[in-house]
Amino acid sequence: MADINERNADLKALIRTIPDFPKPGIQFRDITTLLLDPQGWATAIERMVAAVSGPVDLVAGIEARGFLFAAALAAPLKAGVLLIRKDGKLPGATIAEDYALEYGTDRIAIHADAFAPGARVLLVDDLIATGGTARAAVRLLHKAGAVVTQAQFLVDLPDLGGADALRTDGIEATALIHFPGH
């Protein structure tokens, strides 16, 4: 992890940490400061594109910040963009997947006709923490017939185990920046 953070120290420096948000003890990693920096944003996308292994047909972004990364990565990868939304936000027929939250459950969905079975899909989001949403997204994509072998994130909070959980599920999970804690 130290090597990754050293290679991407310029990007890490553009991410603001807000202590005790949204509750005491949480160190919120605010990527909006990186998004506001044109060179930092472009560099982050270039480095994420460079880390993709093999061709992809679609880049799937998890609502909402994942949409930014999916669109930005898809263009240089010559891939389409697939939106993974909160349930009830898409018109027409959908396929959905439930997942556990700290208190209760949530549900994400994609259009039932979003892609043909066998499509190679790269999953992206801004940050991975516990991995609950990302793992649900992979299950959803598999349910719809996608081949998902890799997921990318700008930020990983490795102490929370989400990227490791994806790896246990057979997904190559990478991030440009690691922050300790949660």
Residues designated catalytic: 65, 102
Q: Pairing state of beta strands 27-30 and 16-19? A: antiparallel
Q: Which residue has the tokens 């959980």?
A: 165
Please give the Cα distance from 11 to 8 (Å, whole number). Answer: 5
Residues 6+ apart with CB under 8 A from 139: 97
- The C-alpha torsion from 117 through 84 and 21 to 164, rounded to 10°, is 0
The answer to whether 61 and 71 are in contact (CB under 8 A) is: yes
The answer to whether 15 and 155 are in contact (CB under 8 A) is: yes
Residue 157, H or E segment:
none
53: nearest Cα among 156, 162, 148 = 148
